[in-house]
Amino acid sequence: MWTWAHKFGSPGYFYALAGKVNPWLTALYIALFATGLYLGLVVAPTDYQQGDSYRIIFVHVPSAWMSMFVYVVMAVFAAIGLIWRLKLTAVLAKASAPLGASFTFLALATGSIWGKPMWGTWWVWDARLTSELILLFLYLGFMALQAAMPDRQTAWRAGAILLLVGVVNIPIIHFSVDWWYTLHQPATITKLGAPSIHPSMLVPLLIMAVAFKVFYLSLLLSRARAEILHRERRTRWVQELARSGQL
């Protein structure tokens, strides 16, 4: 098992494996997005209270879930990197950061678009919204550390510590609607018992959630491959790929 893990942690092996897997992931997320959007925007019925405005949840909710999911993944990479010093974890965390920040910004933007007709305002200092905004700043802070420090290892250690400290914000985001009085609606899918959302709306929402995850994985592999080439550009295996025209 450890031999396999060590092999998987090799930049050259990961680069080759990601190149083989990514076309399949691309085809999968395109099919999932097409299915989810069709079911959500065309097939799903109009909500009796919110009308068609509710359909933004098919983008807003998956992006909000992904904003937290990606940060947790980065925190796991940080812990593994600090403990076992696998350099591939730094690559994956750095490649994930702009994606997580994009999902977070998308969640905030779509939430504001939905909030204007529902709440009568674009923004309130709601516990859920504020903690989500802090999450965006954590992503930006990590990226700033990676760009500001000239020494790559020092930048990675500082960023990893920030990721591990900032992970405390994730349960705050998730449970904020239960711990405090907020305008944001409580959980309707992840609550105990049956979800309080009709299957005609739930199914496309879950399909979109899977599509977002596959989309993230595909972009992560693409960005990680580019980062590996940049970091390993002076190694023999990269130079051999360049000479053979496979880059």
Q: Has residue 75 got a pLDDT over 80?
A: yes
pLDDT in tens, 128-165: 899 999 999 999 999 999 999 999 999 999 999 999 99
Count of the separate structural domains present in the chain:
1
pLDDT in tens, 34-70: 999 999 999 999 988 888 889 999 999 999 999 999 9
Instruction: Collapse the DSSP code of 47 into the 3-class scheme (helix H, G, I; strand E, B; otherwise coil) and give the result.
Output: strand
Q: Has residue 81 got a pLDDT over 80?
A: yes
Q: How many CB atoms lie within 10 A of CB 219?
A: 19
Q: 61 with 197: CB under 8 angstroms?
A: no
From the CA atom positions of the chain, what is the Rg in Å?
Answer: 20
The pLDDT score that the predictor gives to residue 184 is 61
Interacting residues of 98 by C-beta distance below 8 A, sequence separation 6+: 139, 143, 223
Amino acid present at 236: R
Domain assignment present for residue 32? The answer is yes
Domain assignment present for residue 5? The answer is no
Q: 59 with 208: CB under 8 angstroms?
A: yes
Range of the domain at 226: 11-45+52-244
Comparing 162 with 190, which gets the higher pLDDT? 162
Domain assignment present for residue 133? The answer is yes
Region 77-83: what's the mean pLDDT?
A: 96
The pLDDT score that the predictor gives to residue 216 is 98
Domain assignment present for residue 4? The answer is no
Instruction: Collapse the DSSP code of 51 into the 3-class scheme (helix H, G, I; strand E, B; otherwise coil) and give the result.
Output: strand
Query: What's the pLDDT band for 192 if we cut at 50, 70, 90?
Result: very low
Domain assignment present for residue 169? The answer is yes
Domain assignment present for residue 1? The answer is no
Domain assignment present for residue 111? The answer is yes
The pLDDT score that the predictor gives to residue 7 is 66
Q: Indicate the average pLDDT of the chain.
A: 90
Q: Which of 15-24, 69-78, 174-183 has the lowest mean pLDDT?
A: 174-183
- H/E segment holding residue 96: helix 87-119
Show contacts of 215-220: CB within 8 Å, 24+ apart. Answer: 215/29, 215/33, 216/66, 216/69, 216/70, 216/96, 216/99, 216/103, 217/25, 218/22, 218/25, 218/26, 218/29, 219/99, 220/92, 220/95, 220/96, 220/99
Domain assignment present for residue 6? The answer is no
Interacting residues of 168 by C-beta distance below 8 A, sequence separation 6+: none
The pLDDT score that the predictor gives to residue 186 is 63
